[in-house]
Amino acid sequence: KALKIAQKASVNTKASTISQRIDWIKDVVKKLSKNKEDIAQTLCDEVGKPITFARIEVDRCIETLKLSNIAMVNSHGETINTDAMPSGKKTTSYWFREPVGVVACITPFNFPLNLVAHKIAPALVSGNAVVLKPTPEAPLTAFKFVKLFIESEFAIKDAISIVYGDVEVGSTLVESDIPRVLSFTGSVPVGNIITKTAGIKKLALELGGNAATYIDKSGDIQLAASRCTFGAFINSGQVCISLQRIYVDEEVYDEFAQAMKHETEKLIVGSPYDDDTFVGPLINDEACQRAKSWVINAIEEGAVCLTGNKIKGLNFYPTVMTEVTDDMKIVCEEVFAPIVSLVKVKSYETAIEKMNNSPYGLQFSIFTNDLKQTQSFIHDANCGGIVINDIPTLRFDIQPYGGTKLSGIGKEGPSFAIEEFTEIKSVVIC
């Protein structure tokens, strides 16, 4: 029913002016700005995100909305010189972008506000109707956000709907012929199912990763340790670009390992409602037990736990592992928990080979002061995004975001999402 309503509404969204849609997004920004603390508290309640970072997510969401408006203003077509062809004499030609019609969006629990914004704001401002299926873990966060769109004086009737449910609801969105684009953020197994059952429609899939960094002997070791600690344990490791593998030059390995241990043990683990908490709970007990079993398996296979490996309630303490091998689950699969592995390497060449030896390719980084090495890394890293002298967990909402290999298809970031949610139409005037 929601899909059919959206299909009818898409006629009006396409006919609306860009100015109206921009005013709509601006109004949502205004309303959200007045309700920041309520939304942040709801985030904290539903997914256990530490309140400090919940507030940051609300701020990021506001920026994503603003960036979507800017991206739409800057979206453009261009002329085509068909008169350069002998047969094109006296023709005038150009192309422009128009909305696809209906966009179906399925969003995850780890950023249940900002990742919704990354999908619905570019879709709506570019003239589409949207059906959103939010994560079952954060239904109220999504509801409060979508309600701001629906209640706006600039709203286009029925342009956005929200549906709840699990596999059956998701399958209906995926298999229906009504959505012309399906935008999904989630796991690789579900992504595989989507690609096999979606039929002929555009897919934008963000499926996770196994982010890695290399610490060169020329890099700032203390800075690297501090930033890597942040990148590995922010949001309790429940981030697609959470730092999971750290390859360290053997000459500075011991120094880095001790610095990372020191930085990790300074982190405050506790209630998400406390302003000082850095590491809050995992999403559920199943996630805790999974993380624990992976660490235990690694230790049984010869790995050493430098710090962490402790559970209190749903809090899994930040865990740093050493003496790992490439085939251990904590190294080769996506952990999605506060666990990071340190690997000693003899050279940059060994590090980049190991980094690329992964079915994932979302984001990598390097800490180095060697310019030639930096230039090599830019071309050698087989992934969608790289960061120099900071963590791969770094993401600016304005940038293109998306990976290679099993990390997905397509790009997020407002201007890039607008490209995903529109089609090129070519015009020739004779």
Catalytic residues: 206, 240
Query: CB count, 10 Å around CB of 388?
Result: 12
Q: By C-alpha distance, which of 51, 92, 50, 2 is closest to 315?
A: 50
Q: By C-alpha distance, which of 308, 286, 285 is closest to 295?
A: 308
CA 196: distance to chain centroid?
Answer: 22
CA 340: distance to chain centroid?
Answer: 19
Q: Is the dihedral of CA 84, 86, 87, 90 positive or negative?
A: positive
Two structure tokens written together for 22: 């921009």
Residues in the chain: 430
Residue 118 to residue 104: CA distance in whole angstroms: 13
Residues 6+ apart with CB under 8 A from 102: 3, 6, 7, 10, 128, 129, 130, 131, 178, 179, 180, 181
Residue 343 to residue 106: CA distance in whole angstroms: 36
Residue 301 to residue 280: CA distance in whole angstroms: 29
